[in-house]
Chains A and B, each alone.
Chain A
Amino acid sequence: MLDFPRWKTIGISIILLLGILFAIPSFLPSKTFDKLPGIAQIKVNLGLDLAGGSHLLLEADIDDLQKTQLANMEKTVRAAMRGERGPDDDIAIGELSTAGGKISFLVRDQAQLDAARERLFSETQGAGLTGQRDWTIEVVDTTRIVMTPTAAGQKQAIAGAMDTAREIIDKRVNALGTREPTIIRQGDDRIVVQVPGLQDPQQLKDLIGKTARLEFRMVDPNADPNEAAAGRAPVGSEIVPYAEGASAGAPFEVLRRQVMISGEQLLDAKQGYDGQSGQPVVNIRFDSGGSATFAKVTAQNVGKRFAMVLDGKVLSAPNINEPILGGSAQISGSFTVASANNLAISLRSGALPVKMTVVEERTVTPELGADSIRKGIIAGIVATVAVLTLMVLVYGRFGIYANVALFFNIFLIIAIMAAFNATLTLPGIAGFVLTVGAAVDANVLINERIREELKRGRRVFQAVELGYSEASRAIFDANVTNVIAALLMFWFGSGPIKGFAVVLTIGIATSVFTAVTVTRLFAARWLHKTRPTTINI
């Protein structure tokens, strides 16, 4: 055990040297760090509880998604029954209902039933690997068609919506100009958003929580205001409330159900100011298709009003004084600069396919984080000094070896964390301190064993050799149990606890190397050099 061939000594020295080299960048102030060449820019990440920032867990509103899907399928059914080749091609239907999450309608002419089925079938898609479709089509009572969404189809729809939602949230958060946000999907219906260094997450939450479904619709000029006030709208129209503070008059408008232009046809959206009132507004530009539609519709409807509807609320309903050509428009409402900017970002990044709700939020200000780091480092230094002193007092020379090993251990933990881009959290600092206390355990075991063997009358060489070999079994078993606990923390724990588990796991692995191998190298070199007949341990 005490013989170290040259290659082994060199190998150990290289590992220790690399450890120190990899750890150094993490200690540098960020200004110096940024000047390093790219290859040397490896650093331990700070968790949100140390760097400050927001952790948000968003959950999709699956009911809302299913409602939207149902509404879309209803539109598809109507369009499919209308036929492509003029009125002769129409299939007359009636009693269409969407109750119970199903679409059900009557085919008036029984002879057209098979044709209707065929048209609908071509509108459904395969879902999953079993050859299932996303909707089933059944004929009930010989004249009624019932369409039901399948589980596989819904699963696929949710997965697709979540992927899109993640991309859109990513775009929106990046548009805020924050540094290094993390946006990842979690489970079936959740998205985690982590943004470091944020002082107030409210703007972030407002931004990502907004669905931003923009629609341009015509105001129904034939609606009777009294009927509307009683909650009744003409066929093909509906009552849409105004957004908070957006209306000076009635709290709602009666709008045509048909959407003239939707948010997907936008090319760009920017926050600006109204030329006359100086109020913050959002200037939008349509793509070519949108521009053409907008020009056509406004030309046909001069003198009438259209409404800009965002997430089911009317923002404004201006009069069309002349056809709007050129494909740009101005959205006004009761905006502040910040809310207009938020809307512009949301519109640019597209509508969320599903409503998202914040179900968990953890925010730490950068000041509190910095305070935690400062106190954590002080505590770490004091704890290390206390343990080092104790080790020297109890084990003398062998205590010093253990202490040097402990220093290498600290560097190695930081180096490995930096190399794997791991995150240091506040419980992680506690993990560090605990590791300092526990890392010496291996040396305690070894040194106690050496003492014992000396007491049994063994010579120095043999005692040290047996000390290392006999203690290593217990060291191994004891550390495996700690790794089991740490792995479970890593699997089940959330952010900060994961950070604790990471430090603990790395610390256990490196401490076995430094406390056993490195101290043995020191001890072996000293013994070979001085050949002592007694040792003070």
Chain B
Amino acid sequence: MRLLKLVPDDTNIDFLKWRKLASAMSFILVAISIALVAVKGLNLGVDFVGGQSVRVEFPQAMPPIDEIREKVSHIGLGEPTIQQFGSDKAVSIRTALPEGDKTVADRAGKQLVAGIRKAFPTAHTGSVETVSGKVSGELISTGALSLALAMLGISIYIWIRFEWQFGVGALGRLFHEVALTFGFFAVTQLQFDLNSIAALLTIVGYSLNDTIVVYDRVRENLKKYRKMEIVPLLNLSINETLSRTVMTSVSVMLALAMLLIFGPDVIFGFTAAMLFGVFVGTYSSILMSTPVLVWLKVGPHSFVPRTSAASEGAERVQRKDDGAVV
């Protein structure tokens, strides 16, 4: 049986040639993302702004959105945000947190559910969420904190395992991916809630997974080919790991795409964000993770033998050089 090759053997693409263009592109994309978040804003869910959100399911065809909006706004909780799910039988109706003490969130939730049941007697409330202003404030800060800690923690781990330049490269990439995913939420206006934070953390973890594979190969090659210039060496490392990067990304994206198509609509936004993040992560691990190493002047001297692990590497250089094809 002839096996499928997603990437042809022995690619020798000069990825680093495009490093200035790719970096410029990334800067522009990050800037656009930040601008989008600033201008369009995020569609924040009740987790982060407080308020109440009810999932309403209609047994038959759904009434027009405008009719729902009209009827719900008469309940007296202000203009609702209505979001349609994948199917045409369920919507999420969200109203803002009314002013007042902490008991208002609970009372307003009760009022909204009762109002919806009265306006649409055949409809069925699948889920109800009410979050008070104090709790949503706490969720914002813990969400932001966990994201920041994840980015920092992972970068520090890479700094310890590799060298500081690699840590900087990792942090830069993480910032890039997180910024772009925020941009994705701003463009699509998918609801940004606690699940989105989980999606971001997954993207952070996954994106680093890719970076590490590339960096690990760079480290190996730096020890192996001590005389090689840094740019060709990075190109070699990316090309050597290219088929793995593509294969893993394809399999993860395949799995996520199936979840997006067949999975429950409740986690549609969560899955879509992860799919987007993995896609961005793939191109950025090919184009974005290494240029920073050139600028920060990584070279064979970065891994001067000083530990037993390094001398083990040196021994491998001898053993392998005969068989290696450059």
Q: Which residues of A contact B (CB under 8 A)?
A: 49, 57, 59, 201-202, 205, 357-365, 367-368, 371-372, 375-376, 378-380, 382-384, 386-387, 390-391, 393-396, 426-427, 429-430, 433-434, 436-438, 440-441, 444-445, 448, 451-452, 455-458, 470, 473-474, 477-482, 484-486, 488-489, 491-494, 496-497, 500-501, 504, 536-537
Contact = CB atoms under 8 A, between A and B. Distances in A.
Contacts of A201: 128
Contacts of B258: 379, 382-383, 386, 433
Interface residues of B, number: 83
B197 interface: yes
Given A357-B106, A367-B126, A536-B3, A376 B264 contact: yes
Nearest to A372: B264
Contacts of A492: 142-143, 145-146
Interface of B: 1, 3-6, 9-10, 55, 57, 102-103, 105-106, 109-110, 124-132, 134-135, 139, 142-143, 145-146, 149-150, 153-154, 157-158, 161, 194-195, 197-198, 201-202, 204-206, 208-210, 212-213, 216-217, 220, 240-241, 243-244, 247-248, 250-256, 258-259, 261-267, 270-271, 274, 323-325
Contacts of A361: 106, 109, 128-131
A474 B105 CA distance: 49
Give 6 nearest A-B pairs by CB, closest first: A437-B255, A485-B205, A437-B252, A492-B146, A383-B258, A379-B263
A477 to B, nearest CB: 5
Contacts of A360: 105, 130-132, 135
A430 B275 CA distance: 12
Contacts of A500: 198, 202
B267 A430 contact: yes
B254 A387 contact: yes
Given A481-B205, A537-B3, A493 B194 contact: yes
Nearest to B253: A437
Instruction: Identify whether the interface residues of A are mostly helix, strand, loop, or mixed.
Output: helix
Contact of B262 (A358, A379, A494): A379
B214 to A, nearest CB: 9
A368 to B, nearest CB: 4
Contact of A489 (B5, B146, B154, B208): B146
A445 B154 contact: no
Nearest to A491: B146
Contact of B4 (A382, A393, A484, A486): A393
A430 B271 contact: yes
Contact of B213 (A371, A474, A488, A536): A474
**Chain B interface SS verdict (over half):** helix
A434 B252 contact: yes
Given A357-B106, A481-B205, 19 more contacts: A367-B124, A368-B57, A383-B256, A387-B254, A396-B1, A477-B161, A477-B212, A477-B216, A481-B208, A482-B206, A482-B209, A484-B150, A484-B154, A485-B154, A485-B205, A488-B146, A488-B149, A488-B153, A493-B198
Contact of A445 (B244, B252, B264): B244
A190 to B, nearest CB: 9
Nearest to A440: B251
Contact of A368 (B127, B206, B241): B127
A47 B255 CA distance: 23
A368 B55 contact: yes
A455 B248 CA distance: 21
Given A368-B127, A372-B266, A386-B258, A489 B201 contact: yes
B325 to A, nearest CB: 6
Given A375-B263, A482-B209, A434 B6 contact: no
B142 to A, nearest CB: 5
A303 to B, nearest CB: 41
Contacts of A395: 3
Contact of B132 (A359, A368, A371): A359
A475 to B, nearest CB: 9
Nearest to B142: A492
Contacts of B270: 427, 430
A382 B57 CA distance: 26
26 contacts: A359-B135, A360-B132, A361-B109, A363-B128, A365-B125, A367-B126, A375-B264, A383-B259, A387-B251, A390-B251, A391-B251, A393-B4, A427-B270, A433-B263, A437-B255, A438-B209, A455-B325, A474-B212, A481-B205, A485-B201, A492-B143, A493-B194, A493-B197, A493-B198, A497-B197, A504-B205
B103 A357 contact: yes
A445 B255 contact: no
